[in-house]
């Protein structure tokens, strides 16, 4: 993978670069958040490994800026930190959009594990983006066509590829345009049936009275 390494300390950045290259990845380096944003404009990066504490723009602000970019492929963000992995720190990072943590000093085995997770997550994200971009779908029953030319329910199709489960509900627009008219139709039919039953009962009563 092509990985962006953002680290303001030259020695730490060299250690990170060597570790990433040892694991078989292509590395793009940036000395701070601004340089990292410039690199993202030029390069197709799907993973960022970034230091937390940096001058001018720290790792969390850099992550927020990455997440604010419009209509881009998802970027997996790993935060490097020497801070204690407290609940408060983890929540602050998660709120900024961070996906995972690595503690300093850098452990190559830990880095390898985090990158394997990143690869899996990005694979799922790519599959979902493909589903969103184009699916052959029936205009009537809304089934989708798989690669084997087999038509299946869209819920099953997505669950098989991403593991996503679905719960079903009705959106406000469909409730007003579909559900409410159906309810009104049922109420009108029920009222008409009651009127028909009442009319039949009156006719029967009148007939019985005439017989007497």
Q: Decide: 142 and 159 in contact? Cβ < 8 Å.
A: no
Verify that 33 and 61 share a domain, yes or no: yes
Verify that 106 and 148 share a domain, yes or no: no
Segment (H or E) for 103: strand 100-103
pTM exceeds 0.95: no
Q: Decide: 151 and 145 in contact? Cβ < 8 Å.
A: yes
Verify that 178 and 164 share a domain, yes or no: no
Which of the pair, 134 or 65, is modelled with greater confidence? Answer: 65
Verify that 100 and 163 share a domain, yes or no: no
Verify that 23 and 65 share a domain, yes or no: yes
Span 27-65, pLDDT tens digits: 999 999 999 999 999 988 999 999 999 988 999 999 999
Verify that 114 and 33 share a domain, yes or no: yes
CATH code of the domain covering residue 26:
3.40.50.2300
Residues in the chain: 212
Q: What is the pLDDT of residue 69?
A: 86
**Structural domain that includes position 180:** 171-212
Span 180-189, pLDDT tens digits: 888 889 889 8
Candidates 166, 74, 127; CA nearest to 135 is 127
Q: What does pLDDT average to over the chain?
A: 83
Rounded to whole angstroms, the Cα distance separating 145 from 157 reads 9
Burial of 111 (0-12, 13-18, 19+ CB in 10 A): buried
Structural domain count, the chain: 3
- Residues contacting 107, CB < 8 A, separation 6+: none
Q: How far is CA 157 from CA 29, 140, 142, 152, in A?
A: 39, 17, 12, 7
Q: Decide: 34 and 16 in contact? Cβ < 8 Å.
A: no
Mean pLDDT of 88-104: 87
Verify that 121 and 46 share a domain, yes or no: yes
Mean pLDDT of 183-200: 87
Verify that 49 and 140 share a domain, yes or no: no
pLDDT band at 211 (very low <50, low <70, confident <90, very high): low
Alpha-carbon torsion (6, 58, 94, 70), positive or negative: negative
Verify that 29 and 103 share a domain, yes or no: yes
Helix, strand, coil in percent for the chain, rounding step 5: 55, 15, 30
For the cut 60, the answer to whether the pLDDT of residue 212 exceeds it is no
Verify that 108 and 175 share a domain, yes or no: no
For residue 48, what are the β-bridge partners?
A: 4, 77
Verify that 9 and 84 share a domain, yes or no: yes
CA 41 to chain centre: 23
Instruction: Choose the final residue of a domain: 83, 109, 133.
Output: 133
Q: Could you give the percent of the chain with pLDDT greater than 90?
A: 33
Q: Supply 172's token pair.
A: 């406000």
Verify that 88 and 177 share a domain, yes or no: no
Q: What is the pLDDT of residue 127?
A: 62
Helices (H), 68-179: 87-96, 108-133, 154-162, 172-174
pLDDT band at 120 (very low <50, low <70, confident <90, very high): confident
Span 98-116, pLDDT tens digits: 999 888 888 899 999 999 9
Candidates 162, 108, 105, 100; CA nearest to 132 is 162
């Amino acid at each position: 993978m092509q990985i962006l390494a953002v680290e303001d300390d030259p020695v730490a950045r060299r250690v990170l670069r060597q570790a990433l290259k040892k694991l078989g990845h292509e590395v793009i380096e940036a000395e701070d958040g601004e340089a990292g944003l410039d690199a993202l404009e030029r390069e197709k990066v799907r993973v960022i490994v970034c230091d937390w504490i940096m001058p001018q723009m720290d790792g969390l602000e850099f992550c927020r800026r990455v997440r604010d970019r419009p209509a881009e492929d998802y970027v997996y963000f790993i935060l490097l930190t020497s801070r204690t992995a407290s609940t408060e720190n983890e929540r602050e990072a998660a709120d900024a959009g961070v996906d995972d943590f690595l503690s300093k000093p850098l452990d190559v085995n830990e880095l390898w594990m985090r990158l394997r997770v990143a690869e899996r997550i990005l694979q799922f994200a790519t599959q979902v983006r493909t589903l969103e971009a184009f699916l052959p779908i029936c205009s009537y029953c809304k089934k989708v066509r798989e690669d084997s030319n087999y038509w299946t329910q869209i819920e099953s199709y997505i669950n098989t590829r991403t593991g996503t489960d679905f719960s079903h509900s009705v959106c406000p627009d469909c409730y007003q345009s579909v559900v409410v008219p159906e309810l009104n139709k049922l109420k009108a039919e029920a009222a008409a049936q009651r009127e028909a039953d009442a009319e039949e009962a009156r006719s029967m009563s009148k007939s019985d009275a005439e017989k007497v």
